[in-house]
Amino acid sequence: MQSFAYVNATSVDKVASLLGRTWDEAQVIAGGTDLVGELKEHLISPKRVVNLKTIPGLSYIRQDAVALRIGALTTIADIESNPIVQKQFAALSQAAMVIASPQIRNVGTIGGNICQRPRCWYYRSEDFPCLKKGGDRCYAVAGINRYHAIFGGGPSYIVHPSDSAPALMALNGRVKIMTSTGPKEVGMDDFFTLPETSVRRENILKPNEIITEIILPNPTPNAKSLYLKVRERQSIDFALVSVAAMLTVVNGVCQEARIVLGGVAPIPWRTPDAETFLRGKKISEAVANSAAEAALEGAKPMRDNAYKVTIAKALVRRAVMALG
């Protein structure tokens, strides 16, 4: 990797001044499980790497009357083992449990997990100067696209790799961002960006901004959530397809639904048609099937990834039945 200056940040307020106006100027490091790989493969060559771990007070899980607040530096392992998360925010704890491996969960942070860069093999290898690296094409189009997008693709066909992000979106989460002019909050639904708007980035963060907190509204009574993930290798693997869902069901009738697919699009993929369909329906096998069909309506498989549609339908069906 190329040499760089290493700077320890000491407070959220001062971070913006350490970061740069461009990504080439500075990148942040927390757990480092994503960034180090990018540096070693020469995908990025920042002049400065800013260590966030030295900022005190950014690792916590606290609940108040309205919400659960998770500091951006909280490790995945801490989230996975937190009893409140396990009990009230099952989708998140279940997602945390299937992220990477125990070693990575011990150092990887929740902020890093939702901001992680794509795992697309064309992006991850320096042999391919792809769109995401400022090149002229998405190699997945003519290449091997079995792990690529069936929704929201073009001009790049990456999938968002995060397990926690679909869960946070299903749980109606918000992120707190420190900008150069002060803190702001944005819903998970508005945090991620499709390649058609920003082909080189996957979210709205500017080079001099960081996430400081995740906010999850306390679940309403009768709301239940889960996370299901299908991967080739159980020991450690990114999702082929995952689903995060939160359903509010009263007397067998669905009042509210949020269903988010992972591994199928460049961003965690909300399924509004399925959600709308479910509202007011009594949950049954047939309703679950129809919800699955609605969720996958409009999928555009590439040459090698039509199987993702089959898996996604199965997961939506299972999620609805399990929460119904």
Q: Name the residues that contact another protein, by CB under 8 A.
A: 1, 3, 101, 119, 121-122, 124-125, 127-128, 139, 142-144, 146, 230, 232-237, 240, 304-305, 307, 310-311, 314-315, 318
- In angstroms, the CA 225 to CA 140 distance is 33
Closest approach of another protein to the CB of residue 270, in Å = 22
Residue 200: CA count within 13 A, CB half-sphere: 12
**What are the residues facing 49 on neighbouring strands?**
6, 27
Min CB(101)–another protein separation in Å:
8
Relative orientation angle of helices 307-323 and 285-296, to the nearest 10 degrees = 140
CB of 127 to another protein, least distance (A): 4
Complex with another protein: residue 1 or 84, whichever CB lies closer: 1
Task: Output the smallest distance, CB 144 to another protein, in A.
Answer: 6
Output 1 or 286, the one with its CB closest to another protein.
1
CB of 292 to another protein, least distance (A): 10
| Minimum CB distance to another protein smaller for 89 or for 151 | 151
**Pairing outcome for strands 174-179 and 210-217:** antiparallel
Q: Output the DSSP codes for 4-23.
A: -EEEE---HHHHHHHS-SST
Which C-beta is closer to another protein: that of 153 or that of 173? 153
| CA within 13 Å, CB half, 30 | 28
Contacts of residue 182, Cβ cutoff 8 Å, sequence gap at least 6: none
- Shorter beta-carbon distance to another protein: residue 240 or 264: 240
**Three-state SS at 267:** coil
